[in-house]
Amino acid sequence: MPGAIVIGASSGIGAALARCLSEQGYRVGLAARRVDLLEQVRAQLPNPAFSQAIDISQPERAMAALRELAAAVGDVELYVISSGVGFINPQLEWSEEQRTIEVNVLGFAAMVNAAVQMLEARGSGHLVGISSVAALRGGRAAPAYNASKAFVSNYLEGIRQRCHRRGVPITVTDIQPGFVATAMAQSPQLFWMATAEQAAEQIFAAIRGRKRHAYVTRRWRLVAWLLRGLPAAWYQRM
């Protein structure tokens, strides 16, 4: 039975993906800040599962805790980093910008660092990061969120290049969801909304296909094409 760890498994996409992986025969490690929610998810899984409290806004402690969880799960071949926060912040409140950077940038990088080291020691594996279509352009309503997701996608690309250059067969997958029905979907202009379960199914398909990149749902590639093509001056007026 293959081993997998989902960081950010207490709710939303992470919880749905943990259930999907367990149903597909994985031994799953669950990580998040809220142990009570993790235990609720763990109780729903059909195969052996393990839980660990990990707050990725405290990078050094989180890295050590991830190593402990990996040892408990045993032979982890797949790491999914789904933890993240996002705030609609047009007033540019510093506390919300700071929290976004602490979790989505520093915390994400710390989890990637620890996961890649363990996969390299293993000799192979798969790393999946949950970014966002928001990574494609800046956003006036949530500047730190869009910028942090651009960091996630670019960091994953750099790790992919590193693994290739070192000759280590580690697949790195960048998942860019559009709107998914979770607590983070705060925009007043929501469309093409997917459920967390639909998102998890498409993410698992990308994992199984060992893809480098996937939009969730797939139709969001049309929005991505539009966002990339818009002139900056026009985009600012939206």
Q: Which of 145, 155, 215, 235 is catalytic?
A: 145
Asked whether the beta carbons of 85 and 103 are under 8 A apart, the reply is yes
**DSSP string over 13-69:** HHHHHHHHHHHTT-EEEEEES-HHHHHHHHHT-SS-EEEEE--TTSHHHHHHHHHHH
Assigned token pair, 8: 């950010």
Assigned token pair, 126: 């798969």
Question: In angstroms, what is the C-alpha Rg of the chain?
Answer: 17
- 145 catalytic? Reply is yes
Dihedral sign from CA coordinates of 154, 158, 161, 167: negative
Burial of 54: CB neighbours in 10 Å, binned 0-12, 13-18, 19+:
buried
Torsion of CA 146, 152, 157, 163, to 10 degrees: 180
Cα–Cα dist 104/227, whole Å: 22
Q: Which sequence positions are flagged as catalytic?
A: 145
